[in-house]
Amino acid sequence: MPGERGPAEPSKRITIALVNDYELILRGIAEVLRPFHDLLSVVEWDADQNPERRVDVALFDPYARARLGLERVVSLVSDPNVGNVAIYTWAVTAAQRDQALHAGARGIIAKATGPRALADALLEIAAGGTFVSPEFGAGDAPPWPGHEFGLTLRESEVAALLADGLSNKQIADALWISENTVKTHLKAVFQKAHVSSRTQAIARIKGDVEFARRRTA
């Protein structure tokens, strides 16, 4: 919900803005952090814009964005309303990690992180520290949308963009891959989703991906 604001909170609590293109994911993260209301306060959900008020940490979920959403990271880092930027993701390559930190992100937090550890990481980042989760690459990381019917992480991203109505060329541009690679991923998605047309795929994928977004947020 763009720019949705919570009530004013005591200054001793750190303030958090949740940033993602999907409101359901924002609601899910807010629920995860709710038990730690004495330490931190989620004061904004920003689905399509940067925070409207000053926050200690912007927690950015880059799901289905190209290159870990580095353009959005740069935008958040340079925003005077944002004290620190943390990225909240399923996976990150060494190159993406280095690029994100070089861009100014103060944290890269794995979605395998438990609620208390997530709150502690946000407190550390708000205090000026840098936090990178050790869980990346671990086998117990939460599944990504579409995992339940066998999609790889990249296939999940392609499927999400397909379900959002993007053309093959738009998907290729968004993910910095070739159209032929998009076609290869879509062929795998169609096979795994047991559909034979783009229309059928969108209908099937949209429901499964939205369900997974709610479950893994």
What is the band of 96 on the pLDDT scale with cuts at 50, 70, 90? confident
Structure tokens at 148: 């339940």
Domains annotated for the chain, with CATH where assigned, are 4-132 (3.40.50.2300), 147-216 (1.10.10.10)
Nearest CA among 59, 64, 63 for reference residue 82:
59
Give whole-number Cα distances, 48 to 53, 147, 174, in Å.
Answer: 15, 26, 17
Residue 65 neighbours by CB under 8 Å, 6+ apart: 21, 72, 174
Structure tokens at 133: 């989760």
Residues 2/46, Cβ–Cβ less than 8 Å: yes
Strands 40-46 and 4-5, how do they pair? antiparallel
Apex CA 7: angle with CA 3 and CA 12, to 5°?
110
Query: Could you give the angle at which helices 179-193 and 198-216 cross, rounded to 10 degrees?
Result: 80
Rounded average pLDDT over 24-48: 89
Strands 82-89 and 40-46, how do they pair? unpaired
Rounded average pLDDT over 95-115: 87
% of the chain residues with pLDDT over 90: 37
Residue with tokens 């032929």: 180
**Residue 60 β-bridge partners:** 19, 87
If you average pLDDT over every residue of the chain, what do you get?
Answer: 81
Give whole-number Cα distances, 4 to 13, 32, 46, 147, in Å.
Answer: 19, 18, 7, 31
Q: Is 156 left (phi over 0), alpha (psi -120 to 50) or beta?
A: alpha
Residue-wise pLDDT for 159-171, tens only, equals 888 888 889 998 8
